[in-house]
Amino acid sequence: MPAWVKSHWPKYVEGCGRVSRAIDPANWRVAKSVFVAKDAATAKAYATDRNGPYVYYYHQLFTKLKRSGRLELFKTRREQPDTEVTLESICDKLIIYGTPESVADQLLAFQEEVGTFGTLLYAGKDWKDRELGRQSMILMAEKVLPQVNAGVAN
């Protein structure tokens, strides 16, 4: 969740201070689940398919964390009741998907919310559809990242 990602920065700063290391946002790496498609309908269908790789990944994680009483990882605030944490709410908040323009906008909004970080780790999932998975990575590299980099520079 963005709130928890944002909380990592002060710990990074604290750790750097302990070992006299220069504080540099370029060394902060953040992972996000991302799927990019040429059109919004394809992106939504693939990223939100209950039998697809993205929802499968979060379903597995949700089930394990719920069973072990550790749903706080998926809460948007500490006092949020466990009953409000659903697979749908998790996927809605944690999967970034859409056209290259939409994904770039979502990534820029995410970075604005959590703070400037140096590396985005594209956390793709297993490819249920090889061509869509491959195309997502190509669109990310060729279309999304140039927009994100231009947006960060402004």
How much is the pTM? 0.89
73-85: average pLDDT: 93
Percent of the chain with pLDDT over 90: 83
Query: Looking at the predicted structure, is the pLDDT value of residue 150 above 80?
Result: yes
Q: Which of 88, 67, 85, 68 is nearest to 76 (CA)?
A: 85
Condensed to tens digits (0 to 9), the pLDDT of residues 96-117 reads 999 999 999 999 999 999 998 8
Write down the pLDDT at residue 68: 95
Query: Looking at the predicted structure, is the pLDDT value of residue 154 above 80?
Result: no
pLDDT interval class at 153 (50, 70, 90): low
Q: Where are the domains of the chain?
A: 2-46+92-153
- Three-point CA angle 86, 119, 70, nearest 5°: 25
Phi/psi at 126 (5° precision):
-50, 145
Q: The tokens of 93 are what?
A: 């908040």
Distance CA 14, CA 98 (A): 36
> Are 50 and 91 within 8 A, CB to CB?
no
- Least confident range from 29-43, 67-81, 91-105, 140-154: namely 140-154
